[in-house]
Amino acid sequence: MGGRKILLIIGGGIAAYKSLEVIRRLRQRGFSVGAVLTKAGAEFVTPLSVSALAGEKVFQDLFSLTDESEMGHIELSRSADLVVVAPATADLMAKLAGGHANDLASTTLLATDKTVLMAPAMNVRMWNHPATQRNLAQLRKDGIVFVGPGDGEMACGEFGPGRMAEPNDIVVAIENTLAASSGALAGVKALVTAGPTHESLDPVRFISNRSSGKQGYAIATALAELGADTTLVSGPVALEAPARVKLVSVETAQEMLVACDRALPADVVVCAAAVADWRPETTAGQKLKKRQNGATPVITLAENPDILATLSHAVPRPALVIGFAAETENVVAYAQAKRTRKGCDWIVANDVSPGTGIMSGDQNRVHLVSGDGVEDWPLLDKAEVAHRLAARIAGVLKGRTA
């Protein structure tokens, strides 16, 4: 990612001190950083600290003759690869949502032709105010990307959402957003499986599991955002079809395998589905009825096809095949064994013990098991796990095709 330029707009909030750390980390990673400091921002951090860390002059004034002769605000807004607003105050969000342009920051945001990433920071009540939430919805609609805010204790002593994302998370979001806007997976064909399968006993009963499909849907979304031509083969879930993804809805493991087969060849396959390992050997044509003598039915099970193992041995083989391992004990050891047994390249392993809340929740703590070893990722939103995985996939596929 080195050699790319970030334009950082620092708004007026106590979290502005964290933006100094963002600049430091970006410079360490080889980015160059231009900075705009708003009048309110300058009440929290000094232009001198910002320019010392950025190694460049700080822009503060819309009508500065020297700034205008050196670089007009239009040029400033377009000279970067990405515009980042951190902290993004309620005021800056409102200005952009309303199209106002009465200072350098708001003018730059309106004039830019680049993606804008905002890291909001404000008091919890300000964040929850209908006006801010309305502006947030409008900005999202306009294509503005957001990182945070997080929950926690705030400088004002209150608790709740409004804390600016941590510097490291902002830097990761910057890298993900740049990867997305550069179409890092353009020309790549991706296949993702998601959700549970339903294995019918009779027309009204089935065997299934608690998978929500959230992680697989997030992965398909993240791959498509990077420009991959993405097919999502999904079991029955209560989720909306992701944008830019070809959704193929199936019920059973056997149907899932047929749909995956049809989507081949693919460059990358991610099997996130919680496929039922077994199905009833026979499916009754009519609803099974209770017997008069009280005898309970005996259900004989047949093993389902292993879709991950099948796709790992497809000809031509996808360049990268990734499986998931949902375990309740010995998470990494079982995942390593599963990787070898199924013949895939990576296993994303997670602990789905009931206490973790992972199975139907919005967060996930995963271990990425590959031939190179094991990486432990922190507890992240499922969307963030998906973005990181998609960025890793882009790195590997680019390496192989370069």
CB of 125 to ligand CTP, least distance (A): 43
CB of 313 to ligand CTP, least distance (A): 12
- Residue 80, token pair as written in the block: 């970067």
User: Nearer to ligand CTP by C-beta: 113 or 329?
Assistant: 329
CB of 113 to ligand CTP, least distance (A): 41
Beta carbons within 10 angstroms of residue 177's beta carbon: 20
- Residue 25, token pair as written in the block: 């980390």
Helices (H), 7-129: 16-28, 47-54, 65-70, 73-78, 90-98, 104-111, 124-128
CB of 230 to ligand CTP, least distance (A): 16
In the numeric block, the tokens 């929290």 are attached to: 44
User: Nearer to ligand CTP by C-beta: 231 or 304?
Assistant: 304
User: Nearer to ligand CTP by C-beta: 139 or 368?
Assistant: 368
Question: Which residue among the candidates 156, 260, 271, 344 is catalytic per the annotation?
Answer: 156
User: Nearer to ligand CTP by C-beta: 88 or 273?
Assistant: 273
Distance of alpha carbon 44 from alpha carbon 40, whole angstroms? 7
Distance of alpha carbon 234 from alpha carbon 146, whole angstroms? 28
Residues lying near ligand CTP in the complex (CB under 6 A) are found at 193, 253, 271, 273, 275, 277, 304, 306-308, 323-326, 338
Distance of alpha carbon 190 from alpha carbon 180, whole angstroms? 15
Residue 271 vs residues 68, 176, 352: alpha-carbon distances, Å:
53, 22, 17
**3-state secondary structure at position 264:** coil
Rounded to 10 degrees, the C-alpha dihedral 41/149/25/370 comes to -170
Q: State how far Cα 180 lies from the chain centre.
A: 11
**3-state secondary structure at position 92:** helix
User: Nearer to ligand CTP by C-beta: 46 or 370?
Assistant: 370
CB of 304 to ligand CTP, least distance (A): 5
Distance of alpha carbon 120 from alpha carbon 107, whole angstroms? 19
Is 271 a residue of the active site? Answer: no
Active-site amino acid positions: 156
